[in-house]
Chains A and B, each alone.
Chain A
């Protein structure tokens, strides 16, 4: 048997059941595993204990405004794509304490509580999601003001990525340059074949977690199979988005007739912003105890579709759905580029699947381009 710890950059093969060993190693090292599991008719991300919690043998059928689970003919561990959750559920929790304040002698004291950041091991991060995490890194760690909570959670996160071999019904990662193969940033990356996982060692930490697992160097034939599967996935993408001339395409079309058309359909429900792995808008709530002595400031997720979002004294900047939809789309595909140096969309397709009326951003961009 070769050395216990594989080298960084190496491709190794493991019997699929051995994934449990990797997960056990992570738990022993103090990680909380979070990964895909079945709940309420969808594949969501939640705390898991081992491979038994994975939705083995399940897949998802996704279309605009539709998400259905379906049994597979095989027993694949990762034979599905992404559901309504994204890893921002853990890196940017929907509700988290920002600061505690206690009234004291006519003044107040900020209580700097040491809330230990959980150490998460993300099991099953897809290519689009890896990019989404990089994008939120830029938002929260890339500017003059940084979020210390995000930094702590992010620095401790272990990423076990999965290369997609079957695109989902609404996926378009290939045209966004984010998949199906996962880009840099993972500790381990799996490609699922019939009997084995090919594991690419992405970091020293990843290599360490492989020590207790029975692995061997991946064979040439296996690597070829993996490459072919990824190429096939790339070819089978159901949709694509033409990113030519973004951001200017949208900046120059702020009064395009399409905005009225989409406003007729959009319910302003904000689902898209909830499921989008890069949307980061948040609000700050102020809560107090009944005695009025201890106060908390709490970050909560917000959405640019909410009517209060653009309130200023004197009224509302964007009272109409048309303006709010335009804000979301132009932020995602245009202003984001000026703000963070990358496009805000990763091609995961969630907004298309979870929009109750099936608005498809690839179609909207095409329409503004004049190609619909």
Chain B
């Protein structure tokens, strides 16, 4: 994998775009490209995760299995989005299953290697945690919004 193309990809993705050049290079050195075909299960709910992805193209559906109801898609992720953030945490287990709905190209990182780089470089650690936290906050708000069923027809007046 050419680390030049991955560097380029990181420079274009929103998640990494504004990182200082030295941090960007460290990430590029750890990153590698992956391709998934359509309908491919990337990981399953409750698996111990090792990889974190930044999607370059395509769509991934996150779903949970509800006994008696089958699979329910709770969220889809597209280009520019982070997949598998829970791997960043050492005892992280996947909170949902992920399956591609189209062919997908992504940049992947090994979580253990990423953690090591973050422990050695405080600035990098800070930059990444900042961004990941932002995403988790958005997803939490999104989940709450979905829970509130805001479009439901209202009470009679």
The answer to whether A and B touch in the complex, with CB atoms under 8 Å apart, is: yes
Q: Which residues of A contact B (CB under 8 A)?
A: 311, 313-315
Per DSSP, chain B at the interface is: loop
In the complex, what residue of chain B is closest to A313 when comparing beta carbons?
B154
Within 8 A of A (CB), among B125-157: 154-155, 157
How far is A313 from B157 in the complex, measured between Cα atoms in Å? 7
Cβ–Cβ < 8 Å partners of B154 in chain A: 313-315
Query: Which chain B residues lie closer than 8 Å to A313 at the CB level?
Result: 154, 157
A111 to chain B, nearest CB (A): 28
CA distance in complex: A314, B155 (Å): 7
CB of A118 to closest CB in B, whole Å: 36
Residues of A within 8 A of B157 (CB): 311, 313
Q: How many Å from the CB of A285 to the closest CB on chain B?
A: 15
Residue of B nearest to A312 (CB): B154
For A311, the chain B residues whose CB sits under 8 A away are 157
Pairs A–B under 8 Å by Cβ, sample size 5: A311-B157, A313-B154, A313-B157, A314-B154, A315-B154
Interfacial chain A residues near B155, Cβ < 8 Å = 315
Q: How far is the CA of A129 from the CA of B29 in the complex (A)?
A: 79
Distance A311 CA – B154 CA, assembled complex (angstroms): 12
A289 CA / B129 CA spacing, docked (Å): 69
Distance in angstroms between the alpha carbons of A272 and B118 in the assembled complex:
63
Q: How far is the CB of B152 from chain A (nearest CB, A)?
A: 9
Distance in Å: Cβ of B150 to nearest Cβ of chain A = 8
Q: How far is the CA of A311 from the CA of B155 in the complex (A)?
A: 11
Whole-angstrom CA separation of A314 from B156 in the bound complex: 9
* A315-B157 Cα distance, complex, nearest whole Å: 9
Bound CA span A313–B151, Å: 11
Minimum CB distance partner of B150 in chain A:
A314
Tell me, in angstroms, the Cα distance from A248 to B155 when the chains sit together.
37
Q: Report Cα–Cα, A315/B154, bound state, in Å.
A: 8
Interchain nearest-CB distance for A55 vs B (Å) = 45
With CB as the reference atom, state the residue of chain A lying closest to B155. A315
Q: Which residues of B contact A314 (CB under 8 A)?
A: 154
In the bound complex, CA of A124 to CA of B77 (Å): 73
Q: Considering the complex of A and B, which 4 residue pairs feature the smallest CB-CB distances, nearest first?
A: A314-B154, A313-B154, A311-B157, A313-B157
A315–B155 CA distance with the chains assembled, in angstroms = 8
What is the CB-to-nearest-CB distance from A106 to chain B, in angstroms, rounded to a whole number? Answer: 28
Distance A315 CA – B149 CA, assembled complex (angstroms): 14
| Contact string against A for B residues 83-95, beta-carbon threshold 8 Å, 1 for contact and 0 otherwise | 0000000000000
A332 to chain B, nearest CB (A): 28
Tell me the smallest distance from the CB of B88 to a CB of chain A, in Å. 36
Q: How far is the CA of A65 from the CA of B157 in the complex (A)?
A: 35
Tell me the complex Cα distance, A116–B157, Å: 37
Q: CA A315 – CA B152 in complex, angstroms?
A: 12
Q: Which residue of A lies closest to B152 (CB)?
A: A314
Contacts of A315 in B (CB 8 A): 154-155
Least Cβ–Cβ distance between B39 and chain A, in angstroms: 39
Task: Find residues 36-86 in chain B having any chain A CB closer than 8 Å to their own CB.
Answer: none
CB distance from B6 to the nearest CB of A (A): 48
Q: Distance (Å) between the CB of B5 and the closest chain A CB?
A: 50
Shortest beta-carbon distance, A259 to chain B, in Å?
26
A313 to B155, CA, bound (A): 7
Report the separation of the CA atoms of residues A112 and B155 in the bound assembly, to the nearest whole angstrom. Answer: 37
Distance in angstroms between the alpha carbons of A141 and B154 in the assembled complex: 37
Q: Provide the bound-state CA to CA distance between A368 and B155, in Å.
A: 37
How far is it, in angstroms, between the C-alpha of A57 and the C-alpha of B123 when the chains are bound? 85
| B155 vs chain A, min Cβ distance (A) | 8
